[in-house]
């Protein structure tokens, strides 16, 4: 009986400790004044198939279409929207949507645009005079985008000759070439069994992604996959290494992720100096796993993994007395309580100036056209 009482007391103490925990790490004197959120789209269908794929019939097995968001992905973002509403209620005007307070930006891709819309349905259910149809607690909210070929900030797919040249140089380094020597057997094995060329890391990543989605949607995988499609195995490792390639040097990071960093930092500076017009409190970016990976890898925070569906990065600006600092949080699951990441060269609480000085190599100082010129 005494043992039972002891465990009951311990359990109660743990529950009280959890209940008293705060959703983010800040002192009592600090105030959240602005936040940027970068999230990956929700669950989707595979991007590609392969000639020997028993599940390659798009019409039969992937009715939404290759690469398209599915219902599970919509639900993931609806739930993330509800979490973000709870986290950022203090930044909103009475909990209502206002274009003067919130801005939503997406890459020009169906799944990210749809994820943003699903997210906003959970984030901003209409209330009061925003209810325009009594039996539909949803309201249209603008989602801004630009064509992929012009997007050098979020999708980072706009043409950049200097980046392409720098990437080719990196791909010729012994470090990179040794990957193909070490895993030559894997490339050959995959090519022989899929019936298509497998010669790059992105080929491996796309194939691994297709098999992973087929597996979680209860589609039996071919016998040959048992040798290579293994949690923590070489195929998964190469797929995760692929996320680091685009930002593997300071020059690559500057041209792939630097413009996003600059945009966020400039907006923080404008907020601090009361120059932000409109004076918004929240900026949402609907993007991709590669966006999150490139952001983290550019500043030494990326650990090899695939950013999950609806994963989110929160870059939050705080005011403490007369000083400002920001923190970065990474939400990979359904956790409500997050701890700030320790930013290399800057710590958990980082001032804008300190970050700019510490990471000046990766923050562009000129226009995109000049930075990308050869």
Is the pLDDT confidence value at 18 over 70?
Answer: no
Q: Among this protein's residues, is 289 annotated catalytic?
A: yes
User: pTM of this prediction?
Assistant: 0.92
Q: Among this protein's residues, is 41 annotated catalytic?
A: yes
Question: How many other C-beta atoms lie within 10 A of the C-beta of residue 10?
Answer: 10
* Per-residue pLDDT reduced to its tens digit, 222-257: 999 999 999 999 999 999 999 999 999 999 999 999
Question: How many other C-beta atoms lie within 10 A of the C-beta of residue 144?
Answer: 9
Stretch 140-169: mean pLDDT, rounded? 97
Give helix 161-171 / helix 174-182 axis angle, nearest 10°.
Answer: 60
DSSP 69: B
Stretch 349-354: mean pLDDT, rounded? 98
What's the pLDDT at 21? Answer: 37
Is 274 exposed, middle or buried (CB count within 10 Å of its CB: 0-12, 13-18, 19+)?
Answer: exposed
Q: Which of 53, 151, 203, 289 is catalytic?
A: 289
Cis peptide leading into residue 278 (ω within 30°): yes
What's the pLDDT at 335? Answer: 87
* Per-residue pLDDT reduced to its tens digit, 26-61: 556 899 999 999 999 999 999 999 999 999 999 999
Long-range interactions of 326-331: CB distance < 8 A, separation 24+? 326/268, 326/350, 326/351, 326/352, 326/355, 327/24, 327/25, 327/26, 328/301, 329/24, 330/296, 330/301, 331/83
What CATH architecture does domain 24-160+247-372 belong to? 3-Layer(aba) Sandwich (3.40)
Is the pLDDT confidence value at 3 over 90?
Answer: no
Q: Which run of H or E residues covers position 5?
A: helix 2-19
Is the pLDDT confidence value at 5 over 50?
Answer: no
d(CA 102, CA 91): 9
- Cα distances (Å, whole numbers) of residue 46 to 18, 55, 58, 67, 68: 39, 11, 10, 5, 8
SS3 labels along 166-226: HHHHHHCCHHHHHHHHHCHHHHHHHHHHHCCCCCCHHHHHHHHHHHHHHHHCCCCCCHHHH
Q: How confident is the model at residue 93 (pLDDT cuts 50, 70, 90)?
A: confident
What's the pLDDT at 16? Answer: 40
First to last CA, the chain: 77
Q: Which of 41, 53, 151, 203 is catalytic?
A: 41
Is the pLDDT confidence value at 218 over 50?
Answer: yes
d(CA 111, CA 321): 42
Is the pLDDT confidence value at 208 over 60?
Answer: yes
- Bridge-based pairing state of the strands 102-106 and 312-320: unpaired
Q: How confident is the model at residue 17 (pLDDT cuts 50, 70, 90)?
A: very low
Question: How many other C-beta atoms lie within 10 A of the C-beta of residue 80?
Answer: 25
d(CA 331, CA 198): 33
d(CA 322, CA 132): 42
Stretch 199-205: mean pLDDT, rounded? 97
Is the pLDDT confidence value at 8 over 80?
Answer: no
What's the pLDDT at 27? Answer: 57
Q: Where in the chain is the domain with CATH 3.40.50.1240?
A: 24-160+247-372
Is the pLDDT confidence value at 7 over 50?
Answer: no
Structural tokens at position 97: 């949507």
Q: Tell me if 241 sits within 8 A of 247, measured CB to CB.
A: no
Whole-number average pLDDT of the chain: 93
Q: How far is CA 202 from the centre of its chain?
A: 18
Stretch 206-235: mean pLDDT, rounded? 98
What's the pLDDT at 374? Answer: 83
Stretch 189-214: mean pLDDT, rounded? 98
């Amino acid at each position: 009986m005494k043992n039972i009482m002891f465990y009951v007391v311990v359990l109660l103490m743990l529950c009280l400790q959890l209940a008293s925990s705060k959703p983010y790490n800040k002192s009592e004197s600090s105030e959240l004044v602005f936040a940027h959120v970068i999230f990956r789209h929700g669950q989707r269908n595979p991007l590609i198939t392969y000639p020997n794929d028993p599940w390659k019939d798009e019409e039969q097995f992937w009715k939404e279409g290759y690469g398209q968001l599915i219902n599970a992905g919509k639900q993931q973002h609806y739930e993330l929207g509800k979490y973000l509403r709870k986290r950022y209620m203090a930044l909103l005007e009475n909990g209502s949507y206002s274009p003067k307070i919130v801005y939503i930006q997406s890459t020009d891709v169906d799944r990210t645009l749809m994820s943003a819309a699903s997210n906003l349905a959970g984030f901003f259910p209409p209330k009061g005079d925003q209810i325009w149809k009594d039996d539909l607690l949803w309201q249209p909210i603008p989602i801004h985008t630009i064509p992929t070929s012009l997007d050098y900030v979020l999708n980072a797919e706009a043409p950049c000759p200097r980046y392409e040249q720098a990437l080719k140089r990196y791909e010729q380094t012994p470090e990179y070439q040794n990957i193909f020597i070490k895993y030559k057997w894997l490339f050959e094995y995959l090519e022989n069994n899929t019936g298509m060329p497998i010669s790059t890391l992105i080929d491996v990543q796309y194939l691994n992604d297709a098999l992973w989605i087929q597996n979680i949607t209860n589609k039996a995988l071919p016998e040959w996959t048992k040798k290579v499609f293994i949690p923590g195995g070489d195929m998964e490792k190469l797929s995760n290494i692929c996320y680091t390639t685009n930002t593997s040097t300071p020059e690559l990071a500057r041209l792939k992720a630097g413009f996003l960093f600059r945009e966020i930092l400039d907006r923080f500076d404008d907020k601090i100096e009361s120059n932000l017009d409109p004076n918004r409190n929240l900026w949402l970016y609907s993007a991709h796993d590669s966006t999150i990976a490139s952001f983290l890898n550019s500043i030494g925070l990326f650990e090899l993994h695939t950013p999950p569906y609806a994963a989110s990065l929160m870059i939050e600006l705080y005011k403490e007395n007369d000083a400002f600092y920001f923190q970065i949080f990474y939400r990979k699951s359904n956790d409500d309580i997050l701890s700030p990441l320790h930013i290399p060269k800057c710590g958990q609480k980082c001032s804008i100036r300190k970050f700019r000085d510490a990471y000046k190599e990766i923050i562009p100082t000129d226009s995109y056209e000049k930075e990308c010129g050869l």
